[in-house]
Chains A and B, each alone.
Chain A
């Protein structure tokens, strides 16, 4: 069933036809477990996998990317990868409908994960909706390094939260917010994070979720003089760095802004490096001072 397609020595990535081992409901989402030999050993929290939709005859050509929720190296099934999928369109509906025993094309691990602090500093981990998926694994690794971990899980409503029960196992404190007040504090994660950062003396804020949320986390981190490490999302066709569709304007160490591939240079980026002001109403323009930006005409 599971078949390795490509795994070049030292490439740090594998391409497999993965057997679906499990597909269970998790609130409004589906939690998929995939048999992915070779992938688990390479993966780090914050990295992602790119799944194909259907077989080689599918009319949906582009891969769908999901952050890795969890990996289990070499067990009975030879290593598994778990992801959380929300059915948004035809492609994700097909993926959430996969039955155990069926197979799906998986490439991973992809991208750069969350950098871990070298000192045991308090950390605040913030997830929006199923964006929280990679944070539990991250929390475990942070605690292994002696970092106190606070988690904030936010969503529009209670059914769109992911992992509240699991969070209590891996974090020292958990705060839940919902827009409609159906669970936890009514409001946004940005309403509770500033106090949490102040109270815990956090050195890092980690975030994964919608871009608007990541933008406000970056602003909060700036206000507190600390760094936000955020896993961004931008539409990707391939996930492996060859299509150039998932770019966003990011300021480099030298201060120059380039349109970087979020699949290769991200998905985890320092919040203060992202040119958030370029994003507006679903579009992201190229800042005029970006390298190679079109000269103003008219």
Chain B
């Protein structure tokens, strides 16, 4: 630490609860479909991991349209977890990701705790399971018809989902719980899911919002509410990571890797999340503007880490806590 030494490559590898990733950059679930489309712009096998769109047990049509509204430095979406169902996902999407050699974080969702578990089972028992680097449990999608199903807002529900999924996930395969910022105390939820067996946390999912169409004077989205994402929510992501990493450092909750997500558009944004305590970084909405963003941000981050005089990304993780003296 201390003296800047920018010579030599930076070790950008990440230990994700025992799984080694060559780099910290990931796509964010729901912001890169299932890989093929983004692979036209960047080689997704070069990412730390590719995170799929959340898959449910059965096919889901998603919500009606409009399901998107642009907001200042962000957007609202109410896609509603559109997807082909886990069987088609495995045979078509996971098979393709496996064929190109991508490291895949499969995002899973469900309407009940047992549905999550059945989706996880179908993925980890599939013949393409060797491509799976981790399972990300999406307990925080705000775009479900019954808002009571946002498990991440309910400690009991969150605990049940993670407990049932853990039983399906083989030893050595990390299980990440993706958390919502729309809670009173995110540290409490983090504690619950870690106790239930989550090996890591992804923070944050979108946060609930509404946009009004001022010509028609009614909600812009057909579903009225949507999830806010983009740079507008980055301070919320940094805050969530800061609070949870802080609790880990103080020994209040179990220590586990944090995957940061929320408003990352440039390397400097990624560095904010890392310094707050994230070991890896997902790029979501920025990819809609620039489909090369998940790769580009990684290049920018590596340069910044070197410019700060570090030769290991791991040495920067959570450093803001060490440098904060209040």
Chain A residues with a Cβ under 8 A of chain B: 5-6, 8, 11-13, 15, 52, 56, 59-63, 91, 105, 107, 234-235, 237-238, 240-248, 258-259, 264, 278, 282-286, 290-294, 297
Contact = CB atoms under 8 A, between A and B. Distances in A.
Interface in B76-96: 77, 79, 82-83, 85
Contacts of A292: 58-62, 82-83, 85
B37 A264 contact: yes
Contact of B65 (A52, A63, A283): A283
Interface stretch (B9-17, B67-75, B190-198): B67-75
Given A5-B290, A11-B40, A62-B289, 9 more contacts: A6-B291, A8-B41, A52-B290, A105-B290, A243-B288, A244-B67, A247-B82, A283-B66, A284-B65
A278 B61 CA distance: 14
Contacts of B60: 292
Given A61-B73, A283-B64, A245 B79 contact: yes
Contacts of A259: 61-62, 82
B179 to A, nearest CB: 22
Instruction: In the A-B complex, list the 7 residue pairs whose CB atoms are closest, starting with the nearest.
Output: A292-B59, A245-B68, A241-B37, A11-B40, A238-B288, A292-B61, A6-B41
A235 B65 CA distance: 9
B190 to A, nearest CB: 29
Nearest to B291: A240
Contact of A291 (B59, B216, B292): B59
Contacts of A13: 40-41
Contacts of B40: 6, 8, 11-13, 240
B36 to A, nearest CB: 8
A240 B61 contact: no
Nearest to A263: B37
A103 B132 CA distance: 40
Most chain A beta carbons < 10 A, residue from B33, B43, B77: B33
Nearest to A245: B68
Given A240-B37, A292-B82, A234 B65 contact: yes
Nearest to A243: B288
Contacts of B74: 61
Contact of B42 (A6, A244, A286): A6
Nearest to B266: A56
A284 B288 contact: no
A297 B144 CA distance: 14
Nearest to B292: A6
Contacts of B290: 5, 15, 52, 56, 105
B41 A15 contact: yes
Contacts, number: 140
A288 B244 CA distance: 43
Chain B: interface size category: 35 or more
A91 B231 CA distance: 17
B290 to A, nearest CB: 7
B180 interface: no
B19 interface: no
Given A284-B64, A284-B222, A242 B33 contact: yes
18 contacts: A5-B290, A6-B292, A60-B70, A61-B231, A234-B65, A238-B288, A240-B41, A240-B291, A244-B62, A245-B68, A247-B67, A264-B37, A286-B63, A290-B61, A292-B62, A292-B83, A293-B61, A297-B145
B66 A235 contact: yes
A282 B288 contact: no
B78 to A, nearest CB: 9
Contacts of B36: 241
B38 interface: yes
Contacts of B37: 240-242, 264
Interface string B283-294: 001111111100
A4 to B, nearest CB: 11
A14 B171 CA distance: 42
A286 B30 CA distance: 20
A149 B63 CA distance: 40
Nearest to A241: B37
A168 B287 CA distance: 42
A70 to B, nearest CB: 24
A234 B66 CA distance: 8
A269 B228 CA distance: 31
Contact of B230 (A61, A283, A290): A61
B291 A238 contact: yes
A56 B36 CA distance: 24
Nearest to A7: B41
B61 to A, nearest CB: 4
B141 interface: no
A63 B32 contact: no
Contacts of A245: 65-68, 77, 79
